[in-house]
């Protein structure tokens, strides 16, 4: 990996700190790390969501939206949903323009559709993200782990291109036509559905005599052990409501009567007031555990 470049931000360039969150589909930004982003936006951090695909092959998961005219125009509808969500979160957003791969199901699994994001060669899929990194110049990047958080082919590909962009964007010999080099300083993986978090929320619901949505999840925990440790817990309970509003903006994907809203906000704030991450790469010194994605970065950015 190249040595980190000078990441000092000139006074005229606006906010001192910049965060880029790379996601596979519209709605992923609202279900993973949304309260974190809203918190940093409120603190004056510039936040960019990069969305790799348009979600064209996504299913309609909200019965109220399961209508022929919606399904026939799903790409346009999801674009409009994303516009509402980014306004709620206060973030910037950029589409990379790749085509949703869909989620293959069956035994054996069907082949992925020709021309989809997951089948793109790594360099072809990574070049637009490298360009976005060099233009936006993030200090910190967020993405998924090697398994994509869950094994959707677009999530796995999102991980691959994010790691490639983090490692290549600062190297002038790589992707020479994609802008002036810029080296991000930290790369994190989302740790949204950890065992500790699910158990804490489950216990909090039962203590209050409420029905827990995590019963079946907890039964399956041993089937998929947690690979990465949580290194960073970002306090953001004050922005859980903003997160939920952004989720609801994705009306085709989020059932307002469904799983996402089964735990009352006051229970969430008391039992688990953070969003959690694994620090996968760092070019700055930091002390673990962290409570700030910019730990070690703030000292590198001139005031």
* 30: CATH: 3.40.50.10320
The stretch 143-151 carries a mean pLDDT of 86
Residue 206: inside a domain, yes or no? no
Give residue-wise pLDDT tens across range 59-113. 999 999 999 999 899 999 999 999 999 999 999 999 999 999 999 888 788 999 9
Asked if 50 contacts 22 with a C-beta cutoff of 8 angstroms, the reply is yes
Residue 257: inside a domain, yes or no? yes
137: pLDDT strictly greater than 90: yes
| Number of domain units in the chain | 1
Name the percent of the chain lying above pLDDT 70.
94
Closest listed residue to residue 99, CA positions, set 112, 82, 81, 88: 112
Report the alpha-carbon distance of residue 110 to residue 123 in Å, rounded: 25
Report the alpha-carbon distance of residue 117 to residue 153 in Å, rounded: 8
Q: What is the DSSP letter of 2?
A: P
Residue 55: inside a domain, yes or no? yes
The stretch 230-259 carries a mean pLDDT of 97
101: left (phi over 0), alpha (psi -120 to 50) or beta: alpha
Residue 105: inside a domain, yes or no? yes
* pTM score, whole prediction: 0.92
Residue 125: inside a domain, yes or no? yes
Residue 99: inside a domain, yes or no? yes
Establish whether 155 is an annotated binding residue: yes
160: left (phi over 0), alpha (psi -120 to 50) or beta: alpha
Name the percent of the chain lying above pLDDT 90.
83
Report the alpha-carbon distance of residue 208 to residue 185 in Å, rounded: 43
Residue 298: inside a domain, yes or no? no
Candidate ranges 3-12, 30-39, 214-223, 225-234; pick with highest mean pLDDT: 30-39
The stretch 145-173 carries a mean pLDDT of 94
Domain ranges, residue 89: 15-193+229-282
Residue 158: inside a domain, yes or no? yes
The stretch 26-40 carries a mean pLDDT of 98
Establish whether 250 is an annotated binding residue: no
222: pLDDT strictly greater than 80: no
pLDDT at 218: 87
């Amino acid at each position: 990996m190249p040595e980190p470049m000078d990441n000092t931000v000139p006074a005229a360039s606006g906010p001192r700190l910049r965060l880029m969150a790379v996601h596979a589909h519209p709605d992923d930004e609202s279900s993973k790390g949304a309260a974190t982003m809203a918190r940093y936006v409120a603190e004056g951090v510039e936040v960019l969501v990069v969305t790799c695909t348009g979600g064209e092959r996504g299913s309609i998961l909200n019965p109220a939206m399961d209508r022929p005219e919606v399904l026939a125009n799903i790409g346009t509808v999801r674009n409009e949903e994303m516009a509402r969500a980014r306004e709620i979160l206060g973030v910037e957003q950029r589409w990379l323009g790749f085509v949703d791969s869909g989620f293959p199901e069956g035994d054996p699994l069907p082949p992925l559709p020709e021309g989809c994001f997951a089948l793109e060669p790594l360099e072809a899929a990574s070049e637009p993200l490298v360009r976005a990194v060099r233009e936006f110049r993030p200090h910190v990047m967020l993405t998924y782990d090697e398994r994509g958080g869950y094994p959707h082919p677009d999530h796995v590909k999102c991980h691959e291109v994010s790691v490639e962009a983090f490692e290549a964007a600062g190297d002038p010999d790589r992707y020479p036509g994609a802008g002036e080099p810029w080296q991000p300083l930290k790369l994190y993986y989302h740790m949204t559905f950890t065992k500790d978090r699910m158990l804490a929320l489950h216990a909090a619901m039962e203590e209050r005599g409420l029905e827990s949505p995590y019963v079946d999840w907890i039964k399956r925990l041993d089937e998929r052990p947690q690979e990465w440790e949580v290194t960073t817990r970002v306090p953001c309970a004050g922005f859980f409501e903003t997160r939920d509003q952004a989720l609801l903006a994705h009306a085709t994907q989020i059932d307002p009567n469904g799983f996402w809203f089964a735990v009352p906000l006051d229970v969430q704030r008391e039992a688990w007031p953070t969003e959690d991450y694994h620090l996968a790469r760092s070019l700055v010194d930091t002390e673990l555990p962290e409570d700030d994605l910019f730990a070690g970065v703030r000292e590198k950015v001139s005031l």
